[in-house]
Amino acid sequence: MFRLICQRLGLGLITLLAASVLIFAGTEVLPGDLASAILQNSATPENLAEMRKELGLERPAVVRYVEWLAGAVQGDFGHSLANKRDVVEELTPRVKDTFFLWRCRWRCFSGFSQPSGNRESTIERSTR
């Protein structure tokens, strides 16, 4: 049982790593960047270069990802580049709402699924 739990946790971590790599790579291949999105019509080459330096976008993508991953492993998910707020502060209310909805769903469907499963199991037994 312990081995199974370790395998599941390991696969979960690999899945999270793969998802983070794919999302990061996906945002890197999109046309434009955050600096051009922030500056929009007032973007000049000088303004873009200054904004990219301020946001840290002039560094290679691999370096930025490894730095983010090292911080994430320690519980520091960094600051949002768009609004300069801590990512954990941004996600906390959303995670609370998500768990609230999960609990509501669990309460609603556990009351339905248990009797339904019991009914199906008795029907299966009676047909044999």
Report which of residues 120 and 71 the model is more confident about.
71
Alpha-carbon distance of 9 to 1, in angstroms, equals 12
pLDDT digits (tens, 9 = 90+) for 7-39: 999 999 999 999 999 999 998 898 888 788 888
Is 75's pLDDT higher than 90? Answer: no
**Token pair 């696969």 is at which residue?**
11
CA 118 to chain centre: 37
Please, are residues 39 and 48 in contact by the beta-carbon 8 Å criterion? Answer: yes
CB 101 within 8 A of CB 109: no
The pLDDT assigned to 71 comes to: 92
Instruction: Report which residue type is found at 124.
Output: E
Give the pLDDT score at 22: 97
CB atoms near residue 72 (< 10 Å): 14
Is residue 63's pLDDT more than 90? yes
pLDDT of residue 12: 96
- 3 versus 42: the higher-pLDDT residue is 3
Residues sharing a CB contact under 8 Å with residue 47, sequence separation 6 or more, in sequence order? 39
Q: What is the model's pLDDT at position 95?
A: 92
Task: Please give the Cα distance from 35 to 82 (Å, whole number).
Answer: 9
Task: For the chain, give every domain's residue range.
Answer: 86-128
Q: Which structure tokens are listed for 78?
A: 């960094």
* Residue 61, amino acid: A
pLDDT tens track for 86-128: 988 888 999 999 999 999 888 888 777 777 777 777 775 555 5
